[in-house]
Amino acid sequence: MTSKQFELSNPLIFLMALAIGVIVADLYYLQPLLHQVSKDFAISSSKASLLMTLVQVGYALGLAFVVPLGDIIPRRRLLVGIYLLAAILMGAAASIHSFNAFAIMSLFIGLTSVGGQVIVPFAADFAKESERSRVIAKVMTGLLLGILFSRTFSGIMAQALGWRGVYWIAAGLLVTIAAILRLVLPEEFPREHMQYHELLYDAFSFILTHHHLRRRAYFGFLMFATFSAVWTVLSFHLAIRPFYYSNATIGLFGLFGVAGVLAANLTGTQADKDRLNLTTRVAGSLMLLSFAMFWFGRSEYLFLGVALILLDAGMQGMQISNQAIIYSLAPQKRSRINSIYMVSCFLGASTGSFLVGHLYQRYGWAGACILGAILTTAIMIPSFFWSAPKKVLAESGEPLV
């Protein structure tokens, strides 16, 4: 079946969402396990936090150099290869007993976790114009659930099987998804013929020529830095006084992020109604409010849970707002645009992990809260001055600068 004959059905949207969730989870399995990994390898908390930085740097590299290939290589073939390689790497990481080797493997696990970012523009291509934001929100639900349940899953499984068992299970899931994608995804129309270096140059030139992309990349950088800062040190905070929580209990905190799923779908509906300025500002306000809750409720699990709900809801609302805009800029180049935007996001994530690792070692949870408050303030201020493009212009089919 070719792309011209193909219609994006609800079952396929669900499968795409599931596939995104399975591979993006590779980025987050480690977060609730960092305290256990640090004990296994006999390293400090700041050195363990470096693992998350490496995973996110790897992801940024994959976004920069792998995701753009979706504009010239049939995405079904590209996706199957990425998922199989990710499975091999997860299995290898589960077998490693050297910290340095595990750190290198973490970098490459991050690089191959970009499969979901190949699927998102794939879905956007097949979606009807009038429903694109909602379709993006639906497939992004898989990403959100992957993030959400990866922490809970890894915490519970590590309690029973150790953290290495989590990696072996993940490898099996990736192989299964690769086989399913090979069977159900359609063949696409012939891709644009470009040399690889031309593809990369064209991708990076977008950041210079599209001010809407620059603005949303800025929001994405700070948003992911904020999110990563919290989750990188949360397991350390919950493992000490007054909590002393187990791996499984720490993992359950990921379930507080279910609000992000609801926020993403609500934002998708509002985006299709051309209310992107409103959704951006509301999302930023929720993120800022979350850090007030993190600060004042740092010793109470219920306050921390509410703060996580606000943070996830704000982040995912911002993410869908950003993607609704960037996918309308140049429809024929969505993989490249998504690549540049997500590179910015995960450079932000790696920066957040790096900064909070040092701040937490010196100032504890207070350092993480102050960092998050500064980052979210830097989002809120320009959101009142930068306007989103009008939907009627964004859907004209012409490149929007």
For residue 271, the model assigns a pLDDT of: 63
Pick the more confident residue, 150 or 79: 79
Pick the more confident residue, 248 or 362: 362
pLDDT surpassing 90 at residue 325: no
Pick the more confident residue, 221 or 274: 221
State the Cα torsion 18-21-22-27 to the nearest 10°. 170
Look up tokens 């970098």; give the residue: 107
pLDDT surpassing 70 at residue 401: no
Q: Which tokens in the block code for residue 393?
A: 């212009």
The average confidence (pLDDT) of the chain is 84
User: Model confidence over 90-106: pLDDT tens digits?
Assistant: 999 999 989 999 999 99
List all residues 6 or more positions away from 210 whose beta carbon is below 8 Å from its beta carbon.
329, 330, 337, 399, 400, 401
Where residue 206 falls (left for φ over 0; alpha for ψ -120 to 50; beta otherwise) is: alpha
User: Model confidence over 194-211: pLDDT tens digits?
Assistant: 778 788 888 788 888 888
* Local confidence band at 190 (pLDDT 50, 70, 90 cut-offs): low
Q: Which tokens in the block code for residue 192?
A: 């644009």
Q: Which tokens in the block code for residue 87?
A: 């499975």
pLDDT surpassing 70 at residue 320: yes
Pick the more confident residue, 236 or 401: 236
Integer CA distances (angstroms), 105 to 58, 293, 303, 345, in order: 10, 36, 36, 21
Instruction: Report the pLDDT averaged over residues 117-144.
Output: 79
pLDDT surpassing 60 at residue 2: no
Query: Both ends of the chain: CA-CA distance in Å?
Result: 35
**Closest C-alpha among 106, 142, 64 to residue 346:** 64
List all residues 6 or more positions away from 189 whose beta carbon is below 8 Å from its beta carbon.
2, 3, 4
Integer CA distances (angstroms), 211 to 205, 387, 400, in order: 11, 11, 9
CA angle, residues 111, 112, 113, in degrees to nearest 5: 95
Look up tokens 């000490």; give the residue: 240
* Local confidence band at 368 (pLDDT 50, 70, 90 cut-offs): very high
Pick the more confident residue, 80 or 401: 80
pLDDT surpassing 80 at residue 388: no
Please tell me what DSSP assigns to residue 137. H
For residue 367, the model assigns a pLDDT of: 94
Backbone angles phi, psi at 5, to 5 degrees: -95, -5
Total residues found in the chain within this entry: 401
Please tell me what DSSP assigns to residue 190. P
Q: Delineate the domains of the chain, giving CATH numbers in brackets.
A: 10-185+194-389 (1.20.1250.20)
Q: Using an 8 Å Cβ cutoff, are 348 and 51 in contact?
A: no
**Closest C-alpha among 322, 324, 356 to residue 342:** 322
Neighbours of 41 (CB within 10 A): 17
What 3-state class would DSSP assign to 191?
coil
Name the range with the highest mean pLDDT among 54-63, 130-139, 154-163, 218-227: 218-227
For residue 276, the model assigns a pLDDT of: 81
